[in-house]
Homo-oligomer: A and B are copies of this chain.
Amino acid sequence: MLQPLKGFRDFYPEDMAFQRWFYNLIKEISESFGYQEYEGPMVEPLDLYAAKSGEELVKKQAFTWKDVSDRTLALRPEITPTLARMITQKEGSLTFPVKWFTYGRRFRYEQPQKGRGREFFQWDIDVLGSDSPESDAEIIAIAGTFYQKLGLTPAEVKIKINDRKFLQDKLTEIGIAQEKITPLFRIIDKKSKVDEKAFREMVNTETGNADITDKVIDILNDKESYKTSDWLTKMFNILEAMNLRDYVEFDPAIVRGLDYYTRTVFESWDVKGDFRAIWGGGRYDNLTEDIGSNQKIPGVGFALGDMVISELLKTNGKFPTLKTNTSSVLVTIFSPELQNDALKLSLKLRLGGINTELYSDPTSKLDKQLKYADKKGIPWVVIIGPDEKEKGIVVLKNMKTNSQETLTPEEAVAKIKTA
């Protein structure tokens, strides 16, 4: 009972400091592009995902249970279907395109490993109500800006981009039948997980024709073909104009596992190859209809998890230095008779905008109190003894230099604030 469940995490203040730093960065970037924050429930009916989230996610990875009315509920494995539901619900009163972001928990029953847990946080950012390649490029540009802010370079991370529709057209051109496209996409999605020979065999099983298999492989290896696509060309031009061209590359073998993607798809990889796809996203133009709306609202977005980014920052020596303790000063209690004076002083310091901890036990020796401040990493300590009380002053001690001086409370506030 004394450990968290497998794949779940406790966040001690040092872990929480990373979470807060990460969230603040995400919020800053999202808002700098004009995106607004939203959130949804942590629990949804499983049906919401069953529509189009893909078999693996729904049947194998969802935490589910039945409610009293025998309806199957799920801990949300992703938030895009919730977003589609929310947009549909208020479709009449929203100004499109809607540009929204969120950061919250998702749940997947997977084998925990480096960068992956059963409960994790995810940044989702989406545009809804726009079907322009400009929106797709902007979403990818936001991810590129995120990498820039983290100090992760194009030599360390890449974003691979494709267009499912473009790939589908190419496959149709070489004679792949309509009903073979989805199964073939499922195989292509596994390309990076198997070797060349195994992949060829998987494709061949589906096409049943070695010539066509050759042509499929050729299509998947042609890194220049995007130049014949207006859509993709526009996207790459915009990313070039935004000084992000080095982060992105065309990869016709990127299709993504979620069934709801209709056009642009993209995923990011670390160049060293320590991780599998770091995060991904794409365009989903039918999702609102898929979940039962009679309005078709096009959308595009990405989802990016906290655990893999944290590992990636560590691997590349770019994990931030974070402050766990936010207290500036400890007010000690010299003796029980001087407790009220310590109390009043702590009030004064807080009113001055200083994070102030008051020692909890008025019967403790001063030495013990100083040791506590030291252990907690609190930079200043204030002492009011009988002499100080009489003179209306305080002793301010700098815990780093061990030096101390006597000041009025107002002077102490100023000193701590400017330190």
Contacts and interface: CB of A to CB of B under 8 A. Distances in A.
A43 to B, nearest CB: 6
B361 A130 contact: yes
A88 interface: yes
A37 B65 contact: no
Contacts of A33: 350, 355-358
Interface stretch (A8-16, A222-230, A399-407): A8-16
A168 interface: no
A300 to B, nearest CB: 10
**In the complex, which range does the number of interface residues on chain A fall in?**
35 or more
A3 B292 CA distance: 11
Contacts of A110: none
Given A32-B350, A95-B375, A45 B13 contact: no
Interface stretch (A132-140, A179-187, A387-395, A409-417): A132-140
A361 B132 contact: yes
A8 B86 CA distance: 13
B119 A355 contact: no
Interface string A47-86: 1100000000000000111100000010100000010011
Given A34-B327, A39-B11, A39-B16, A360 B135 contact: yes
Contact of A89 (B2, B20, B40): B2
Contacts of A130: 360-361
Nearest to A117: B41
Interface of A: 1-5, 8-13, 15-17, 19-20, 31-34, 36-45, 47-48, 63-66, 73, 75, 82, 85-86, 88-90, 95, 97, 99-100, 105, 107, 119, 127, 130, 132, 134-135, 138, 237-238, 241-243, 291-293, 324-327, 330, 339-340, 343-344, 347, 350, 354-358, 360-362, 372, 375-376, 378
22 contacts: A4-B41, A5-B45, A10-B41, A10-B85, A13-B37, A13-B100, A15-B39, A16-B36, A16-B38, A16-B39, A19-B39, A32-B354, A32-B356, A33-B356, A42-B42, A42-B107, A43-B75, A97-B360, A130-B360, A134-B339, A242-B343, A243-B347
Given A1-B47, A4-B85, A138-B360, 18 more contacts: A4-B40, A5-B43, A10-B38, A12-B38, A16-B39, A32-B354, A33-B357, A34-B330, A34-B378, A42-B107, A42-B119, A43-B107, A127-B360, A130-B361, A134-B361, A138-B358, A242-B347, A243-B347
